[in-house]
Structure 1
Amino acid sequence: MLDPIVAFFQRIFSAIGRGIGLLVAWICLPFLKIGQWFTGRSWIIKGPLGIVFALLIGLYGYFLWQATVWTNFNPDYVNTYNFAARKNDAGQPVKVAAGATATATATAPANTCERSAIVDVAADLIDYNVNQNAWISSMILYKAGLFGMDWDNTPWLDNKASFQRGVNEAVRRTTVELVDSLVRMRGTSGINPQLQSVRSKMQYEETNWYFGLSPFGPLTPTPSQYRAAIIDLRSFNDELAKCTVTFDARADNFVEFMDRIASSIGSTSAMLRERSENYNGGFFDTRADDRFWFAYGQLYGYYGVLSAAGADFDGVINQRGLAPIWNESIKQLRASLNIQPWIISNAREDGLFATHLATMGFYILRVRSNLVEMRDILAR
């Protein structure tokens, strides 16, 4: 009775095995043909080609390592800043000098102001993307793709690149707001040239290598521009510590800052919803992973930026009674970073399998809802 059933499954597995074998043969065929051609050549040809192949092997080994190993990834990176120990809003004269007794009358040396935690975090996030890790999106082998197919259209080697672009999106939005409002006294002072330079550098194309086809010619690679932005950010904060530039930690600036961030993550929520609703491929949706890791990277960046904003605008938060909802928002941001699945699934929400895009979208909407609520409280 069971023989036909067993035979049926044997045929199924045999067919799957043949299919896998044909796929492997198809992938290996070009390399076998090249190997056969190579063994029949003279050393005059073998030598230079061998050097080229060795170089390619080295480049691919480096690329595979950088695309899969996330150096210094730490969802709890905010804890290293110890923002709770801050006693002043950004740009305000430092009240407690190093080594002095923490009393209301203790004062720091003249012309000493508080650095901006937002600026420090933004600089460190850029450093994490381009110095502690290689910037994947502008690597030549990432741009070349898999046999000409964009890596973003495959299930492989695009997660870290998407995560980095998400972090970068958070930094880009932050640098725009620094220039437009946060460092301008009631919007009437001139634009700070260092931060204006940072904003321009962070808007630079994310995929530029040393050479481009459109326009044709040499280019400044993306990581070089971002590294220059780090220097400008840290230089601005050094000037702020000397009280030679300003950071205007007012309630209306805080409102505008939260409003722009809420809009930013709202756009990401819409992107996740569109993919989740229209492409229910489960584990076979090859674009779900880059959508997920972009959103994850954006929240990873905003977790640091908003935690820093809580230190820079501590006076506003406490004076307006926002501390409970503010702390809850930061906790929700951190909770969203606990979602780290090995394989991203974009299944139907009422299906049997996980739907990671909808889960991430849920966390994003919770954070956005709190930001909007705090904005409305401050705007009253």
Structure 2
Amino acid sequence: MLDRIAGFFRLIGQTIGRWARLFSAWAFWPFLAAHGWYQRRSWMIRLPVIAFVALLVALYGYFFLQTQVWTNFNPAFVDQYRLSERKVAAGQEVPAAEGANTTAPKTCQRSAIVDVAADLTDFNVNQNAWISSMLLYKMGFFGIDWDHTPFLDNKASFQRGVNQAVRRTSAELVDTLGRVRGTSGINNDLQSARGNLQFDENSWYFGLNPFGPKTPTPSYYRSAIGSLRKFNTDLALCNVIFDGRADNLMQFIDRIANDLGGTSDMLAERSENHNRGWFDTRADDRFWFAYGQLYGYYAIMAAAQADFSQVLAERNLGAIWGGTMRQFQSALRIQPAIISNGREDGWIMPSHLATMGFYILRVRSNLVEVRSVLDR
């Protein structure tokens, strides 16, 4: 009896060993064949091959470094603006200091929302490389899209989540916040910023559809940064408008809540239908996209608190707004090293997507509550 059991396990071991040898032969055969071909060639052929391999190693080394190092990643970076020290809402005239020259030109309060949107984009494309349009990211892993693998794609998903928040904000700046509705034209700088931020996230210097050279994505986003900062410079000189009315804030919050609702649905769909635990290679993409979106919206909502300070005071929204910000902070503390998409009632493999979805819904419910108060 024991001999048969031992024989069974030996058979399993032999089968595994045979398949491992076959896989190794399949995986290393191209390299062995290339080595044999290389050995039979002259140095006129070898040197270009060496240069190509060295270039490839350098490019992949740079790509690996850029995907793993998140420069200046800080969910609480908005604290650096010291927004609580602002005395007036965005677009309003800043009172002159005591003893100041009364003939000095007047100045208006800059928009914290615009500053944050510009700095989030700067964080994405200047302080870090924009991963989604890098050549090696577009080439994939032996032809497999990096988003379908469990590695080297988290930063790209996070950046796209941040960009989603900035895109939504830029649209609201153009349509409502940067103009007096129905009585003023669209601000050209904000319009330019919105157009550039809506540009395709995956463009490199050359593309196949359409075929030919292209302007890469980061160049468009850098142009958007300049346009946003120019608007704020003009706002500080009181040359443009920031319309900080309650109905504009209500609409802005409504759009953010809807955006987060879509993300929550995306997480729920993945969690319910693809709960493969540690082996779900798309779970990390969903998680870090949602995290990036919250990262961006947390900073933007903190900025909105300063820009609409008068509205919040008039509607007595301080406590509710503070609760909303605490929900954002709780969600942003979730930073697992490896994302698992297990069953919600599982005990070995956690469900990070369900956890993130829960916090997003908490944030969204607070936003809906803020909106309901503004709508009274």
Question: Normalised by the size of structure 1, how large is the TM-score?
Answer: 0.93
Match of 2:189 among 182, 191, 194: 194
- Check conservation: 2:344, 2:354, Cα contact below 8 A: yes
Give the secondary structure class of the aligned counterpart of 1:289. helix
**Residue-pair matches, total:** 375
- Could you tell me which amino acid in structure 2 is paired with residue 359 of structure 1? T
* Map of 2:203 onto structure 1: 208
Q: Does 1:67 align with 2:62?
A: no
Residues 232-270 of structure 1 deviation map (CA, whole Å, 9 limit, x = unaligned) = 111110110000001011000000000000011110001
The 5 A counterparts of 1:144-293 are 144-293=139-288
Q: CA deviation at 1:30?
A: 2.0
Q: CA deviation at 1:17?
A: 6.5
Q: Does 1:340 align with 2:335?
A: yes
Query: Whole-Å Cα distance in 2 between the matches of residues 88 and 13 of structure 1?
Result: 74
* Map of 2:29 onto structure 1: 29
- Check conservation: 2:178, 2:242, Cα contact below 8 A: yes
* Map of 1:140 onto structure 2: 135
- Check conservation: 1:179, 1:199, Cα contact below 8 A: yes
- The 3 A distance-change label for structure 1 pair 26 and 95 is farther
- Could you tell me which amino acid in structure 1 is paired with residue 251 of structure 2? E
- Check conservation: 2:178, 2:190, Cα contact below 8 A: no
* Map of 1:310 onto structure 2: 305
- The 3 A distance-change label for structure 1 pair 65 and 259 is same
- Check conservation: 2:113, 2:303, Cα contact below 8 A: yes
Q: CA deviation at 1:31?
A: 2.3
Query: Whole-Å Cα distance in 1 between the matches of residues 151 and 370 of structure 2?
Result: 40
Residues 127-172 of structure 1 deviation map (CA, whole Å, 9 limit, x = unaligned) = 1000111000000100000111101011111101000000000000
Query: Whole-Å Cα distance in 1 between the matches of residues 236 and 103 of structure 2?
Result: 12
- Could you tell me which amino acid in structure 2 is paired with residue 308 of structure 1? A
Q: Does 1:371 align with 2:338?
A: no
- The 3 A distance-change label for structure 1 pair 289 and 8 is farther
- Check conservation: 1:95, 1:106, Cα contact below 8 A: no
* Map of 1:358 onto structure 2: 354
- Could you tell me which amino acid in structure 2 is paired with residue 133 of structure 1? N
- Could you tell me which amino acid in structure 2 is paired with residue 186 of structure 1? R
Give the secondary structure class of the aligned counterpart of 1:217. strand
Residues 71-99 of structure 1 deviation map (CA, whole Å, 9 limit, x = unaligned) = 111122121111111111000001254xx
Identity between Structure 1 and Structure 2 (%): 62
Q: Which moved more, 1:344-353 or 1:286-295?
A: 344-353
Query: Whole-Å Cα distance in 1 between the matches of residues 230 and 61 of structure 2?
Result: 36
Residues 306-350 of structure 1 deviation map (CA, whole Å, 9 limit, x = unaligned) = 110011001111110111010111111011111111111111111
- Could you tell me which amino acid in structure 1 is paired with residue 119 of structure 2? D
- Could you tell me which amino acid in structure 1 is paired with residue 130 of structure 2? W
Residues 262-310 of structure 1 deviation map (CA, whole Å, 9 limit, x = unaligned) = 0111100010011111111111111111000000000001011111001
- Could you tell me which amino acid in structure 2 is paired with residue 94 of structure 1? V
Match of 1:116 among 111, 117, 127: 111
- Check conservation: 1:94, 1:107, Cα contact below 8 A: no
Q: CA deviation at 1:36?
A: 2.1
- Could you tell me which amino acid in structure 1 is paired with residue 245 of structure 2? R
- The 3 A distance-change label for structure 1 pair 362 and 40 is same
Q: CA deviation at 1:32?
A: 2.6
- Could you tell me which amino acid in structure 2 is paired with residue 365 of structure 1? L
- The 3 A distance-change label for structure 1 pair 16 and 354 is farther
- Check conservation: 1:95, 1:108, Cα contact below 8 A: no
Q: CA deviation at 1:28?
A: 3.1
- Check conservation: 1:207, 1:222, Cα contact below 8 A: yes
Query: Whole-Å Cα distance in 2 between the matches of residues 291 and 43 of structure 1?
Result: 49
- The 3 A distance-change label for structure 1 pair 327 and 46 is same
* Map of 1:90 onto structure 2: 90
- Could you tell me which amino acid in structure 2 is paired with residue 89 of structure 1? A
Q: Which moved more, 1:43-52 or 1:266-275?
A: 43-52
- Could you tell me which amino acid in structure 2 is paired with residue 231 of structure 1? G
- The 3 A distance-change label for structure 1 pair 296 and 20 is farther
- Could you tell me which amino acid in structure 2 is paired with residue 355 of structure 1? S
- The 3 A distance-change label for structure 1 pair 324 and 22 is farther
Q: CA deviation at 1:26?
A: 3.4
Q: CA deviation at 1:185?
A: 1.2
Q: Which moved more, 1:14-23 or 1:327-336?
A: 14-23
Query: Whole-Å Cα distance in 2 between the matches of residues 30 and 257 of structure 1?
Result: 56
- Could you tell me which amino acid in structure 2 is paired with residue 91 of structure 1? G
